[in-house]
């Protein structure tokens, strides 16, 4: 469930959550763009992912979403409440 962290006045937690989602969404997009660029340049996406892991580009996004991208699994994983 994470850890409780006091971030400021009432509502600051919502802003922090938005900031987190911005970082996550941007990183997923960057990984997807990098894979597409590399693939169009002749790189094997699976080999690229392995090469990037452990360096500065390594992240949970590269690990989890990168693996899904390499497999071509584009099924949404999050839930949506209507």
Task: State yes or no: is 71 an active-site residue.
Answer: no
Closest alpha carbon to 66 in 79, 78, 51, 80: 51
Helix (H) or strand (E) holding 10: none
Geometric angle at alpha carbon 47, from 41 and 53, rounded to 5°: 115
**Alpha carbon distances (Å) from 17 to 21, 22, 24, 44, 79:** 6, 9, 11, 35, 17
- Kindly name the residue from 12, 15, 17, 21 that is annotated as catalytic: 17
Kindly list the catalytic residues: 17
């Amino acid at each position: 469930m994470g850890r409780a962290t006091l971030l400021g006045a009432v509502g600051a937690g919502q802003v922090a959550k938005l900031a987190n989602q911005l970082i996550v969404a941007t990183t997923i997009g960057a990984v997807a763009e990098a894979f597409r660029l590399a693939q169009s340049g002749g790189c094997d996406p699976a080999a690229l992912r392995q090469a990037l892991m452990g360096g500065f580009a390594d992240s949970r996004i590269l690990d989890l979403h990168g693996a899904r991208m390499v497999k071509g699994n584009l099924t949404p994983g999050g839930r949506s409440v209507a």
